Structure 1
């Protein structure tokens, strides 16, 4: 599955826990990868909080007005409606991270592209 549905958006993701897969009623969890140079475009979710946990690689994460270097072991919180973006600015390593929402389905999260 592509990262976000916009053809300019990059990355790959899989759902691990969701209403569709396991009957979850309150959360969704997945795994994602961004290859070197790929960008998950600036966007926000009007109906859900989101989080990331970096497993491998590093990248530049923009969350609201803050730019953060995410590295293995970093946990990042994105409150509802806060714009966020990921740029794997590393030249050789794929970024691998867990992601999750406080909603059980992607169609209940909403996505508003900002770039």
Structure 2
């Protein structure tokens, strides 16, 4: 068992196509290294006001978000959605996606990936 309040967050560390930094925080809760999972990774994500989690895709894994707090703009393929707490977003393998927090509250979300580790992050912006 792992607790987000005990282990804290680390900054996202990816770089976009023009050298821009990915923004947001993550606390991994279930993964191959943490819990021996062989089929998924689950994290708690936090996007601070004004931050943007780069649009990207995973050619080797599907993903989901469950919004716990905040009202982020979710970029999914060619469409954008205004999400709210309680929304669940499924992101099929290979689909471009990202998150923008243009609000005043932290965006809090649970993130799941269909691989326990080592999935590819391919920036699309």
| Fold shared, TM-score > 0.5 on shorter chain | yes
What is the match of residue 123 of structure 2? 113
Where does the alignment leave 5 or more consecutive residues of structure 1 unmatched?
none
Say which of 97, 108, 112 aligns to 1:96.
108
Bigger drift between 2-11 and 28-37 goes to 2-11
1:4 shift after superposition: 4.5
Determine the C-alpha separation between the residues in 2 that align with 1:102 and 1:48.
5
Shift of 1:5: 2.2
* 1-structure distance, mates of 2:12, 2:87: 20
1:48 to 61, 68, 73: 61
User: May I ask how many residue pairs the two structures share in their alignment?
Assistant: 112
Q: TM-score, normalised by structure 1?
A: 0.93
Residue in 2 that maps onto 1:3: 12
Give the Cα–Cα distance (whole angstroms) in 2 for the partners of residues 16 and 81 of structure 1. 24
Offset at 1:66? 1.5
Taking only aligned residues, the RMSD between alpha carbons, in angstroms, comes to 1.0
TM-score normalised by structure 2 residue count: 0.86
- 1:38-60 deviation digits (Å, cap 9, x = unpaired): 00011101100000000011100
